[in-house]
Amino acid sequence: MLLTPGPTPIHPDATRAFLRPMLGHMDREVFALNREIQTDLRTMYGTAPEAFTALLAGTGSLGMEAGFANLVESGDEVLVCANGSFGRRMAEMAARYGAKVRLVTAPLGEAIDPGDVAAHLDGVQMVAVVHGETSTGVLNPVREIAEVVRRSGALLTVDAVTTAGMEPFLAEAWGVDYAYTGAQKCLSAPPGLAPVAVSERAFARFSARRTPNPSWYTDLAGLRDYWTDHNYHHTVPVNLHFAFHAALRAALREGLEARALRVRQMGKAIYAALAPLGFSHYVKRPQDRLPTVLALRLPEGLDDAGIRSQLRDRNISITGGLGPTAGLIWRLGLMGEAARPEPYRILLGTLEELLDARGIVGRFEEAWQAEQQGQTQQGQTLTTV
């Protein structure tokens, strides 16, 4: 049972689709399937109808790299919001593509302040921010950051790896120019694809480059050649496309708002179950908490590595902290198919046994039921704008 902050359990529809007989990457059925993927990605990212969407054959990091490779030229000023390890990865990549990097930071466990971004925008060509910082469980205020960036004319690149497909994401309404995720996160598809969305403004910036993109593989013109004009660029992993298409369809069938509500309800029920044992939220301000990665500070004296190893002996994977938070927190994955009561009942039941503590599952059930009833009574929905 995979309850880590990615990868996530694969959606059954995706598993079935993956096993379809192979087709060629230039087959008309594959082009038709790709077109549906592109349309569904526009819905998932909330882009303008004409925005370019595609799958890159690689993981989320390739999506990150493609943004800098295509949209940054040597000497460009790039402001990177770095309040965790993935923000720092963005800064490193931007620098490798020749950017002069300015950092806006926040203490670990806290969100980036849009006011800090506004104060450092002078002369900046691109701002890059991680929406959900997986390493600490922080949700950065992308909508507010986008508002200040838009006024400056800079491009905005957003890492939507732990958010797109589960959390509200409105690229056009907010003003996001380039967004990417990884197939194995909120969509519960196999790893190996990076879905990207590129605004017209970003495409125009790419087309006006003084020098070619140094990365041939991620070049937007080459990708457009295949995805729009149906010419050969590289051999796309067709069976991963099948699986991704099915997983994304399943997500849209469930509805993006319903998914966002599900993850919040799961987070509340798990917290209600564990808080009496001394677990507490690592991220102090409720509005800064990333719903898809529940970061919990451990109770005093809990044997982090020992308990996680005993869970693994019982085929349950959860994740601890990273770097400075190692031994201090657990990060429970609530992306895609991980955010379901069934696997968490098993995790919590096993914790009852390992921690010799009764009532954990009972508290989860009670809180989960209350969440469901509240939803039915109030016709609860999420406001996404």
Is 15 a binder of ligand PLP (CB under 6 A)? no
3-state helix, strand, coil in the chain (%, to 5): 45, 15, 40
- Cβ-based nearer residue to ligand PLP, 159 or 288: 159
Smallest gap from Cβ 86 to ligand PLP, in A, equals: 4
What is the Cα 286 distance to its own chain's centre?
Answer: 19
SS3 (DSSP) at 383: coil
Smallest gap from Cβ 8 to ligand PLP, in A, equals: 11
- Cβ-based nearer residue to ligand PLP, 318 or 348: 318
Say how many CA atoms lie within 13 Å of 26 toward its Cβ.
8
63-122 binders of ligand PLP (CB under 6 A):
64, 86
Residue number of the CB atom closest to ligand PLP: 60
Instruction: Name the residue among 81, 130, 131 with its Cα closest to residue 101.
Output: 81
Q: What is the DSSP letter of 183?
A: T
- Bond into 7 cis (ω within 30): yes
Smallest gap from Cβ 287 to ligand PLP, in A, equals: 19
Smallest gap from Cβ 181 to ligand PLP, in A, equals: 8
For residue 157, give every residue at least 6 positions away whose Cβ sits within 8 Å of its Cβ, in sequence order, or none: 67, 68, 71, 90, 126, 127, 128, 129, 176, 177, 178, 179
The footprint of ligand PLP on this chain (CB under 6 A) covers a number of residues equal to: 12
113-132 binders of ligand PLP (CB under 6 A):
130
Chosen residue from 9, 60, 109, 195 binding ligand PLP by CB under 6 A: 60
Is 61 a binder of ligand PLP (CB under 6 A)? yes
Say how many CA atoms lie within 13 Å of 289 toward its Cβ.
20
| Token pair listed for 191 | 């790893």
Is 157 a binder of ligand PLP (CB under 6 A)? no
Please provide the DSSP assignment of 357-377 as one string: --SHHHHHHHHHHHHHHHHHH
Q: Which range of residues in 156-164, 307-315, 318-326, 338-346 is near ligand PLP by CB under 6 A?
A: 156-164
Chosen residue from 114, 165, 182, 336 binding ligand PLP by CB under 6 A: 182
Smallest gap from Cβ 232 to ligand PLP, in A, equals: 26
Q: Which range of residues in 57-65, 245-253, 280-288, 334-342 is near ligand PLP by CB under 6 A?
A: 57-65
Distances (CA, A) of 289 to 87, 113, 294: 16, 14, 8
Chosen residue from 38, 47, 53, 59 binding ligand PLP by CB under 6 A: 59
Q: Which residues bind ligand PLP (CB under 6 A)?
A: 6, 59-61, 64, 86, 130, 134, 159, 161-162, 182
